[in-house]
Structure formats: C-alpha cells, structure tokens
Structure 1
Amino acid sequence: MKRLATIFFTVILSVVIAVPAFAGKVVIKLGHIAEPIHPYGQGADHFAKLVKEKSGGEIEVKVFPTSQLGGQKDLIEGLIFGTVDMALVGTAVLGQFQPQISLFDLPFLFQDREHAYKSLDTVGMKIGKDLEPKGIKLLGYMENGIRHLTNNIRPVKTPADMTDLKIRVMTNKIYIEMMKALGASPTPMAFGELYSAMQQGTVDGQENPSAHIWTKRFFEVQKYASKTAHAYAPEPVVISMITWSRLTPAQQKIIQDSADEAIAWQRQLSEKQDKEFWDKIKATGKIEVIEVDRTAFIEATRPVYKQFADVVGQDNIDAVEALKK
C-alpha cells in the first residue's frame, strides 16, 4: 500500500509540474458545504472580493456553497486531481489524507480562541506543509466554530446523560472515540443527510457549532442543546497544487495575501456571530439550551489523547500545550 501511495503522489506531482500556466483571465472554483450566511461562507465570499480587488479583476474566484461541488471528501479529492481549485474543508475530513492535522480535532484542546489562533497559525501551518506532496496547499485556517451537543432524548448535563445516545459524527476516528468515551453511540454520517436523519429518528442528535445549528435549522428537529464546547473546529483554506503551480508568483501572492486578510476578518465575524446565533436559537423557543459543567466531560475524554498521540504526534500536542497562557 505504501508503494502504491508513493506512486500515486509521484504521479500527482508530475502532473503539477507538467500543467501550463493560466492564459488570460484566471477563474478559480472554490467549494464548501456551508450555507452562504454561515461565517465561513461569508469568509469565502469576502476572500473572493479581496482577490478581485487586489488583482484588478485579473483573477475571479467563483464560490460554490452548500455542497454544490460535492461533500468535503469529494472536495479534497477534487483538489488532488485539479478538478476543484480551492475549498474550505474541516480538519476532521482532511485528517483522512494527512493524519497529523487531526490534532485539532482532539477534545478540549484549546484554552480559548486566542490559544486556538496562535496554535493554528504556528503548529497548524507547520503540519500543513505535509499536505503539499499530496497535492494540496494550505493557505491558513478560517473558523467553523466551537462545537456543542444537541439531542432529542433527554437534557444532557453530565457524561452519564449521554449513555447510548445515537450521535451523528463525521467520519473521523477521533470524534468516534470521543463520543464512545462520553458513553454515546457514535454514528458516522454525511452532513447533508443529517437534518432528515434527526427528523426521522435515525440518530438522536449531533454535535456542531452554533452557526450550523442555526443556519441548517437543526433547532427545528432537536429538543435539547448542551453547551459542551467539546471541540474547536477550524476550517482550513486550501488550494490545489495543480492550480497553485499554474499561477504566476505575483498571482500566488495575491491569493495568499487575500487569504490572510480574509481569515483575520472571518475569525472576528465568527466570534461575534457565535453569540448572536445562540440568542436566535434561544428566541425560537423550540429547543432548550443547557449550560453544563465541562469538568466531567474533560476528564471523561482524556483517554482519547493517549489513543491518538502516535497519530497526531505527541510533539504536536506538547507544542500546542506550550502555547497556553
């Protein structure tokens, strides 16, 4: 398998080298799975606006939201083969292609947002370099948000309340083991199937940031929301190495500078809108929002670190820990 993987990535790199530069106006397709009003959906649109301004219209970024170019795994595979130029994807899915980036899916990893940003902009960018031989270039990390739990069965205030709850998770081993550690029954499922699965009772609940709970209207089909803040969800901004190699150095600088500026803008927006989304969710009166003592949840998920230290790198865990205040 290792030999096949080496051959595969060698082929990808040879394609990158052989692809000619863009001629005339450059059009870049950027895909993501969120609604346009989601904070990172707005971040994608802001990035496109900046690129147009900085390039004087020479580069146009066309944004395709709501899984129009496919789910996250489809987007990543599209980047590798050059059928998708850019994407916003979660580390939970990107980790299937670069295991160390799953570091950022560990439960209760960050002290606060400032600690998250500092870790992503240093440790995260270093880890991201290893994506390049696989056909993907990391430009930086936008923010999906802080993940919380919702369900239809009972109020969850402690890990004991999660026993046997069928919770939808992404197809990611860390999230699966996190939910097992909390006593739940993890159910991997595509994001696009989630609303109907909760509506029909196929799963009891899910875990996502407030932005998805609001914009995807999950509050309509769930009774309880517990503010567990069990994980921080970055949203990597990535570009196909095939597309990147066709850009001139000046065009590459425009793309990177625009990404840097859009990321800073989007993080501020995301933090501001997080509170606004919770206010809107509560105002519907459709779902009970529960504050929890996170201590027991933190303790219950500690074994997950030992399980995945070799996968994500104990040195990376230590590096993130060292960045705490």
Structure 2
Amino acid sequence: MTTLFRTTCLAAILSVAGLAAQAQTALRLAHAAPETDLQQNLALFLKEQLEERSGGEITVTIFPQGQLGNDAAMVDGTRSGIIDVVMTGLNNMTGLVPEAGAFELPFIFPTRADAYAVLDGEVGQGISEQFQGHGLKMLGYPENGYRNMTNNRGPITQPGDVAGLQMRVNNSKALSDMFQALGATPQQIPVAELYTALETGVVDAQDHPVGIVQSFKFDEVQDYLSLTQHAYSALALAMNLNKFNGLSEEHQALVQEVATEAVAMQRGLAQDREEEMLADLEGKGMQINRDVDAAAFQEAVRPVWDGFVAQNGDAIVTAITSR
C-alpha cells in the first residue's frame, strides 16, 4: 500500500508539474521598430490573442526598438533559443536562404496583391520550409511596405537624380546593387544608427517604407520624400524551431493561426494608414514627390535581376513572374 501510495503521489506530482509547465509557456518576442510602428501593433495583437485564446497557458513579452540587439543579433538569438520569436526585415535572413533575396528585387512585385499572393502561396511556403534547416519556423511575412527614397538634395523623379547621393542601404544585396547601378554610393548602416548618420551627414539619403520614415522620425533630418516604390519590403515573423516543436499540437496550431491573423491585420493597417502617414509627414514640413518615372527606373535597374539570376538561378524569379 505504501508503494502504491507513493507511486500515486508521484504520478499526481508529475501531472501537476506537466500542467504547470504548459501553463508557463512564455514567449519572448523581439523587433527593432519603435513602439509607434505598426510592427508593435502586430506584436500586441499576437500577445493579446495568444494569451486570451490559450487561457493564459501562453504568455508573450514584447521587446521593441532593438532592446535585445540589432537585427542580426535578434535573428541569431532566435536561432539559438535566447529569443523565441523575432520580427525583422526579410533581408536580414537572406544570408541563410539566398533564394529569399528574390523577394527584394526592385520592381518584382507590381502591387501588394502580387506580393501577398507570392509570399502566402507556394513560392513563399517553399522558402519558409528552407528556414527550418536553420532552426527557424517561419510564421508569416508581415509588411514593411514599398520602399521610397528620401534625401536632402531635392525630389527624385528619374534615375539620374540618384547619382552622387551617399545612400544608406540595409544588407540586401539587391538594393545595394540597385543604388550602385543608379550612381549612388551605398553605405550599410543599421537602422538604429540611421537617424544619427543622417543628422551628422555620414549619409545624405536613405530608402524605407513610409511607416518607417514616420516612426523613426526621419522627417526631422530629411527634406524630400519621393514615392519611387522601387521595392516591396517584406518582414519575416519567425519562431525558434525547437520552441515551436516543443509546444503541444493544439498550441502549435494556435500560434500559427494567430500569426496568420496578425499578419493580415498588420498588412491592412499598413494600407489603410499610408495616406494618413504621408499627410502627417507633409504637415511636419517634408516635401512629398509623387512624380516618378517608374518605367525609367525599371529599365535602369534591370541588371540587378540579371546579377541575382547569375548567382542563384532563374527558378524562383520565373516562378514569381509567371504566376
């Protein structure tokens, strides 16, 4: 009886411990954007919905504005398990899966609908699966938006207007190659250091979606915003693969379901608020230029596509453009 009693007690303790462990599934979510950015809206949606729909069995702590390191550090931290979920520019992950760089090619997505169809469809899912080999579970592709150019020299309406600019670039090879082809001098600077670099004249131009220009307050150090829309910029929402696989099947399904809803919500906000953001920037003194010769830019940057195909083959570019 004593042995049976002890065995029963141990089983009960282990059962309670298992439930406690499940109840204490805590996720750390990190991103580099300010709390005023739509990336924080997505993070808050994810937190609220996961906590509510899991009955408190999953909790999420958000670390915005690069609190856990720059983009590269956050990606590495997520792969190692120090961070559970990361939201970052997809360009910060193309070193792991070079074919994902096709999504960064200038003018490859004529419309947002085209981008969504590719990223959420067979092509995007194929790329997502490749990240599992690097310890990451891709949960979706939120929106950073169409990239536009800002500078202090004047409106950019045609390719020649870019020549001679000291242009900050991210680590996207496609964008760096594009600005080089246009005659600018690209310099890679982390986004967290960009405001100071613009303020001190280290660079005099940069490119980002409208939401980032607003949330990082680049209007304070840049006079002209030209809506070149030269590249669609996707974000990546990814989770440590071991952490995801360690969840119950029910919680795995919930995380993916909520992530998909969060991406859709954030994309909708990005579209709905863009004109409002532009009006805000204009009201703060930024000169908005919509007169851009898109056809001339597309022709000028075509060699960037050729360079990508030479390095990575034409399969993914063909899959994107022939759908």
Per the alignment, residue 113 of structure 2 pairs with 114
Write the deviation string for residues 158-217 of structure 1: whole angstroms up to 9, x where unpaired.
111111101000122211101111111111011111001101100011000000111111
User: Separation in 1 of the partners of 2:258 and 2:230?
Assistant: 31
Per the alignment, residue 229 of structure 1 pairs with 229
User: Separation in 2 of the partners of 1:34 and 1:195?
Assistant: 13
Distance 1:276 1:288, change over 3 A: closer
Per the alignment, residue 193 of structure 2 pairs with 193
User: Separation in 2 of the partners of 1:161 and 1:191?
Assistant: 24
Letter in 1 for 2:266: Q
User: Separation in 2 of the partners of 1:223 and 1:242?
Assistant: 46
CA contact (8 A) 1:39 1:273 kept: no
Letter in 2 for 1:74: A
Q: How many angstroms does 1:71 deviate by?
A: 1.1
Distance 1:25 1:310, change over 3 A: farther
Per the alignment, residue 84 of structure 1 pairs with 83
Distance 1:205 1:22, change over 3 A: farther
Per the alignment, residue 61 of structure 2 pairs with 62
Q: How many angstroms does 1:243 deviate by?
A: 1.2
User: Separation in 1 of the partners of 2:83 and 2:312?
Assistant: 27
Q: How many angstroms does 1:112 deviate by?
A: 0.4
CA contact (8 A) 2:152 2:223 kept: yes
Q: How many angstroms does 1:267 deviate by?
A: 0.9
Q: How does 1:292-307 map to 2 (within 5 A)?
A: 292-307=292-307
CA contact (8 A) 1:219 1:287 kept: no
Letter in 1 for 2:295: T
Q: How many angstroms does 1:37 deviate by?
A: 2.2
Q: How many angstroms does 1:153 deviate by?
A: 2.1
User: Separation in 2 of the partners of 1:201 and 1:36?
Assistant: 26
Higher radius of gyration, 1 or 2? 2
Q: How many angstroms does 1:124 deviate by?
A: 1.2
Per the alignment, residue 140 of structure 1 pairs with 140
User: Separation in 2 of the partners of 1:267 and 1:57?
Assistant: 27
TM-score by length of 2: 0.91
CA contact (8 A) 2:141 2:235 kept: yes
Per the alignment, residue 7 of structure 1 pairs with none
CA contact (8 A) 1:222 1:287 kept: no
Write the deviation string for residues 63-120 of structure 1: whole angstroms up to 9, x where unpaired.
1110011111111101111101001111111101211111111000112011110000
Distance 1:274 1:312, change over 3 A: farther
User: Separation in 2 of the partners of 1:46 and 1:225?
Assistant: 30
**Is 2:249 aligned against 1:249?**
yes
TM-score by length of 1: 0.90
Q: How does 1:281-292 map to 2 (within 5 A)?
A: 281-292=281-292
Q: How many angstroms does 1:154 deviate by?
A: 2.8
Per the alignment, residue 97 of structure 2 pairs with 98
Per the alignment, residue 28 of structure 2 pairs with 29
Q: How many angstroms does 1:226 deviate by?
A: 1.0
User: Separation in 2 of the partners of 1:309 and 1:272?
Assistant: 35
Per the alignment, residue 174 of structure 1 pairs with 174
User: Separation in 2 of the partners of 1:309 and 1:279?
Assistant: 39
User: Separation in 2 of the partners of 1:111 and 1:202?
Assistant: 32
Distance 1:226 1:285, change over 3 A: same
Letter in 2 for 1:196: T
User: Separation in 2 of the partners of 1:96 and 1:120?
Assistant: 18
**Is 2:37 aligned against 1:38?**
yes
Per the alignment, residue 48 of structure 1 pairs with 47
Q: How many angstroms does 1:23 deviate by?
A: 4.5
User: Separation in 1 of the partners of 2:218 and 2:33?
Assistant: 13
Q: How many angstroms does 1:310 deviate by?
A: 4.4
CA contact (8 A) 1:99 1:311 kept: no
User: Separation in 1 of the partners of 2:318 and 2:82?
Assistant: 37
Letter in 2 for 1:104: F
Q: How many angstroms does 1:53 deviate by?
A: 1.7
User: Separation in 1 of the partners of 2:235 and 2:229?
Assistant: 17
User: Separation in 2 of the partners of 1:213 and 1:100?
Assistant: 28
Q: How many angstroms does 1:311 deviate by?
A: 4.2
CA contact (8 A) 2:223 2:285 kept: no
CA contact (8 A) 1:51 1:255 kept: yes
Q: What is the CA RMSD across the aligned residues, in angstroms?
A: 1.4
Per the alignment, residue 184 of structure 2 pairs with 184
Per the alignment, residue 270 of structure 1 pairs with 270
Identical aligned residues as a percent: 34
Q: How many angstroms does 1:220 deviate by?
A: 0.8
Aligned residues: 303
Letter in 1 for 2:97: Q
Q: Secondary structure at the match of 1:291?
A: coil
Q: How many angstroms does 1:248 deviate by?
A: 1.2
Write the deviation string for residues 24-77 of structure 1: whole angstroms up to 9, x where unpaired.
311100000111221222111111111112101110111111001111111110
Q: How many angstroms does 1:307 deviate by?
A: 0.2
Per the alignment, residue 212 of structure 2 pairs with 212
Q: Secondary structure at the match of 1:187?
A: strand
Q: Which runs of 5+ in 1 are unaligned?
A: 1-20
Q: How many angstroms does 1:261 deviate by?
A: 0.9
User: Separation in 1 of the partners of 2:125 and 2:75?
Assistant: 18
Q: Secondary structure at the match of 2:83?
A: coil
User: Separation in 1 of the partners of 2:320 and 2:290?
Assistant: 29
